[in-house]
Amino acid sequence: MTDPELTAPDPDDTRLTRHTAGAFDIRNFIGALIGIYGVVLTLMGLFGDKAYEKTGGVNANLWAGLVMLVVGAAFMTWARLRPIIVPDHVGRVLDDPTRPAPRRRGGH
Amino acid sequence: MHALAGLPTADTLIDANVVDYFIIALYFVFVLGIGVMARRAVSDSIDFFLSGRSLPAWVTGLAFISANLGAVEIMGMSANGAELGISTVHYFWVGAIPAMLFLGVVMMPFYYGSKVRSVPEFMFRRFGTGAHLVNALSFALAQLLIAGVNLYLLGSIVHALLGWPLWVALLVAAAIVLSYITLGGLSAAIYNEVLQFFVIVAALLPLTLIGLHRVGGYQGLKDKVAEFAASAPASAAVPPAGQQLESWPGQALSGFDSPVWSIVGIVFGLGFVLSFGYWTTNFVEVQRAMASNSISAARKTPIIGAFPKMFVPFIVILPGMVAAVLVKEIAELKAGGSPAGGASGEGVKYNDALLLLMRDVLPNGLLGVAIAGLLAAFMAGMAANISAFNTVFSYDLWQRYIRKDHSDDYYLRIGRLATVAATVIAIGTAVVASSFSNVMDYLQTLFGFFNAPLFATFILGMFWKRMTATAGWVGLSAGTLSAVLVAFLTEDAFGDVSLGVIPIGGQGAAFLAASAAFVVDIVLSIVVSLLTQPKPASELRGLVYSETPKEDLVDPHESRLPWYQRTIPLAGVALVLVIILNLAF
Taking the C-alpha atoms of residue B244 and residue B229, their distance in angstroms, rounded to an integer, is 9
Query: Which residue in B433, B351, B441 sits closest to B166, CA to CA?
Result: B433
Give the mutation candidate from A25, A37, A69 for the B interface (greatest B CB count, under 10 A).
A37
- Give pLDDT, residue B491: 76
pLDDT in tens, B220-230: 898 888 888 88
Residue B268 sits in the same domain as residue B175: yes
Q: What is the ipTM of this complex?
A: 0.84
- Give pLDDT, residue B51: 63
Model confidence at B443: pLDDT above 80: no
- As a whole number, mean pLDDT of residues B224-242 equals 81
- Give pLDDT, residue B304: 92
Greater confidence (B496 vs B567) lies with B567
CA angle B468/B470/B476 to nearest 5° reads 105
Residue B64 sits in the same domain as residue B173: yes
First CA to last CA across chain B, in angstroms?
Answer: 44
- Give pLDDT, residue B429: 87
Return the bridge partners of A86, or none.
A19
Query: Which residue in B77, B105, B75 sits closest to B90, CA to CA?
Result: B77
Q: State CA A48 to chain mean position distance.
A: 31
Residue B391 sits in the same domain as residue B481: no
CB contact under 8 A, B369 and A37: yes
Taking the C-alpha atoms of residue B104 and residue B571, their distance in angstroms, rounded to an integer, is 8
Residue B88 sits in the same domain as residue B63: yes
Model confidence at B22: pLDDT above 50: yes
Residue B117 sits in the same domain as residue B29: yes
- Give pLDDT, residue A85: 62
- Give pLDDT, residue B176: 86
Binned at pLDDT 50, 70 and 90, residue B306 comes out as very high
Model confidence at B472: pLDDT above 80: yes
- Give pLDDT, residue A96: 46
Residue B410 sits in the same domain as residue B535: no
CB contact under 8 A, A102 and B34: no
CB contact under 8 A, A44 and B37: no
Residues 173-212 of B with CB under 8 A from A: 191, 194-195, 198-199, 202, 206, 210
Chain A closest-CA separation from residue B18 CA (Å): 12
Chain A closest-CA separation from residue B129 CA (Å): 11
Q: With beta carbons under 8 A apart, name residues in chain B contacting A64.
A: 202, 206, 366, 369
- Give pLDDT, residue B305: 92
- Cα-Cα-Cα-Cα torsion B437, B28, B55, B96, nearest 10 degrees, comes to -30
Q: Give me the number of domains chain B comprises.
A: 2
Residues 17-46 of B with CB under 8 A from A: 19, 22-23, 26-27, 30, 33-34, 37-38, 40-41, 44-46
Query: Which residue in B280, B288, B284, B40 sits closest to B139, CA to CA?
Result: B284
Residue range(s) defining the domain that contains residue B467: 437-553
Do B161 and B9 form a contact (C-beta atoms < 8 A)? no
Greater confidence (B389 vs B52) lies with B389
Angle separating helix axes B217-231 and B166-214, nearest 10 degrees:
110
- Give pLDDT, residue B423: 92
CB-neighbour burial class of residue B234 (10 A; exposed 0-12, middle 13-18, buried 19+): exposed
Q: With beta carbons under 8 A apart, name residues in chain B contacting A44.
A: 19, 363-365
Give the mutation candidate from A19, A25, A26 for the B interface (greatest B CB count, under 10 A).
A26
Residue B43 sits in the same domain as residue B68: yes
- As a whole number, mean pLDDT of residues B4-29 equals 73
Taking the C-alpha atoms of residue A103 and residue A93, their distance in angstroms, rounded to an integer, is 13
Across the A:B interface, residue pairs with CB atoms under 8 Å apart total 133
Residues 384-413 of B with CB under 8 A from A: 399-400, 404-411
Do B221 and B326 form a contact (C-beta atoms < 8 A)? no
Residue B399 sits in the same domain as residue B490: no
If you ran DSSP here, which 8-state letter would residue B128 be given?
-
Give the CA count within 13 Å in the CB-facing half-sphere of B139. 33
Binned at pLDDT 50, 70 and 90, residue B10 comes out as very low
First CA to last CA across chain A, in angstroms?
Answer: 19
Q: 10 Å Cβ neighbour count for A16? A: 11
Binned at pLDDT 50, 70 and 90, residue B322 comes out as very high
User: What does each of the 108 residues of chain A score in pLDDT, given as a tens digit?
Assistant: 334 433 333 444 344 444 555 556 788 889 999 999 999 999 999 988 888 888 888 899 999 999 999 999 999 998 888 776 655 554 444 444 444 444 344 433
Q: Amino acid identity, residue B395? A: Y
Query: Which residue in B198, B199, B195, B176 sits closest to B187, CA to CA?
Result: B195
Do B87 and B247 form a contact (C-beta atoms < 8 A)? yes
What's the Cα-to-Cα distance from B554 to each of B11, B561, B570, rounded to whole Å?
A: 57, 13, 15
Least confident window among A104-108, B32-36, B398-402, B579-583? A104-108
Query: Which residue in B317, B297, B387 sits closest to B95, CA to CA?
Result: B317
Q: With beta carbons under 8 A apart, name residues in chain A contacting B405.
A: 100-103
Mean pLDDT over all residues of chain B? 84
B129-137: which pairs have CB atoms within 8 A and are 24 or more residues apart?
Answer: B130/B469, B130/B470, B130/B472, B130/B473, B131/B457, B131/B469, B131/B472, B131/B473, B131/B476, B132/B396, B132/B400, B133/B473, B134/B473, B134/B476, B134/B477, B134/B480, B135/B454, B135/B476, B136/B392, B136/B396, B136/B397, B136/B400, B137/B397
pLDDT in tens, B503-550: 776 677 778 888 889 999 999 999 999 999 888 888 888 888 888 887
Do B81 and B353 form a contact (C-beta atoms < 8 A)? yes
Closest chain B CA to residue A108 = B44
The domain segmentation of chain A, as residue ranges, is 26-84
Binned at pLDDT 50, 70 and 90, residue B267 comes out as confident
Q: With beta carbons under 8 A apart, name residues in chain B contacting A91.
A: 53
Residue B465 sits in the same domain as residue B377: no
Residue B173 sits in the same domain as residue B141: yes
CB contact under 8 A, A60 and B366: yes
Q: With beta carbons under 8 A apart, name residues in chain B contacting A42.
A: none
- Give pLDDT, residue B539: 82
Residue B321 sits in the same domain as residue B291: yes
The backbone torsions φ and ψ at residue A20, rounded to the nearest 5 degrees and listed phi first, read: -85, 160
Angle separating helix axes B57-66 and B283-290, nearest 10 degrees:
170
H helices of B327-407, where? 328-334, 353-361, 366-391
pLDDT in tens, B365-380: 999 999 899 888 888 8
Write a three-state SS string for B506-544: HHHHHHHHHHHHHHHHHHHHHHHHHHCCCCCHHHHCCCC
Residue B211 sits in the same domain as residue B252: yes
CB contact under 8 A, B19 and A58: no
Q: Amino acid identity, residue B63? A: A
Taking the C-alpha atoms of residue B197 and residue B373, their distance in angstroms, rounded to an integer, is 8
Model confidence at B270: pLDDT above 70: yes
Taking the C-alpha atoms of residue B107 and residue B458, their distance in angstroms, rounded to an integer, is 9
Q: 10 Å Cβ neighbour count for B268? A: 16
Do B127 and B461 form a contact (C-beta atoms < 8 A)? yes
Q: Is B360 on the interface with A (CB under 8 A)?
A: yes
- As a whole number, mean pLDDT of residues B479-502 equals 80
Taking the C-alpha atoms of residue B207 and residue B323, their distance in angstroms, rounded to an integer, is 11
Angle separating helix axes A60-81 and A26-47, nearest 10 degrees:
160
- Give pLDDT, residue A97: 45
